[in-house]
Amino acid sequence: MDAGSDTFEIIKEPNNTTRIIRESEIEISILVNSVDNVAYKWQVNKSLGSPSSNTGEWIEITDDNLYGGTRTNKLTISNPLFSMEGWSYRVITNSPSYLCQEEIISKPSELIITYLIIPNAFSPDGDGINDTWTIRGDLNENYPNNQIRIFNRWGVSVYETKGYQNDWNGSNYNSSGSTSLNLPVGTYFYLLDLNGDGSNIKKGYVYLTRMNNE
């Protein structure tokens, strides 16, 4: 056992997301507070868009043409495919040097194609600053079939589109696609279907505010 430590623990978790780099090698790793008698077992969860360790089916992986280091603190993935987006990885670790302590499960790291920055607030008040809900990270270039729906707090759809162009300005769009009155200040909820087929969905909220409080 390491001197001065009576608990085996992970001191550096994997990143929440790991970007897929084609024709290259990517790494996911952890650090623990011991160097002696440490065992590692890496697992994959292929439930797209469900990186939580409490959902989906986690399957143990072994070294092969795709994976390396599956029994070490650093997992390598060789030449990952874009179709692996949404797959998540975690590691189970323990050390016999720490008596009577159960295995520890790391936080998962989800494979992504690009880092989307989805703002949780914007202010469509006509001042030329932050007037539209702008998602950064090449949404249409990487996810050309994306679909977005936005709901109010009662679950009523107020906006929906395919191939989002970062142009929602806080107006209420009816079923025909025409614009009606500005929506009131408040919190709205989005469902972003990245592939347009329900296989990779992002959910969250966005707060709509206006300086003139229209």
Which pLDDT does position 97 carry in this prediction?
A: 78
DSSP state of 54: T
Q: Report how far residue 88's alpha carbon sits from residue 17's, in angstroms, rounded to the nearest whole number.
A: 9
CATH number for 121-208 (one of 1.10.150, 2.60.40, 1.10.3210, 3.20.20): it is 2.60.40
Domain ranges of the chain: 10-112, 121-208
Confidence of residue 44 (pLDDT cuts 50, 70, 90): very high
Residue 151 and residue 183 in contact, taking contact as beta carbons nearer than 8 Å? no
Which tens digit of pLDDT belongs to each residue from 120-130?
A: 999 998 888 89
More confident residue, 24 or 35: 24
Tell me the C-alpha distance between 207 and 121, whole Å.
4
Per-residue pLDDT, averaged over 171-188, amounts to 75
- Token pair 């050309």 is found at 144
Distances (CA, A) of 211 to 34, 37, 129, 152, 172: 54, 60, 11, 20, 19
pLDDT for 70-110, tens place per residue?
999 999 999 998 889 889 999 999 888 777 778 899 999 99
Same fold for the pair 10-112 and 121-208: yes
| 133-152 per-position pLDDT tens digit | 999 888 888 888 999 999 99
Helices (H) and strands (E) in the chain, counts: 1, 18
pLDDT at 177 (0 to 100): 52
What are the residues whose beta carbons fall under 8 Å from the beta carbon of 156, sequence distance 6 or more?
none
Q: Which CATH architecture has domain 10-112?
A: Sandwich (2.60)
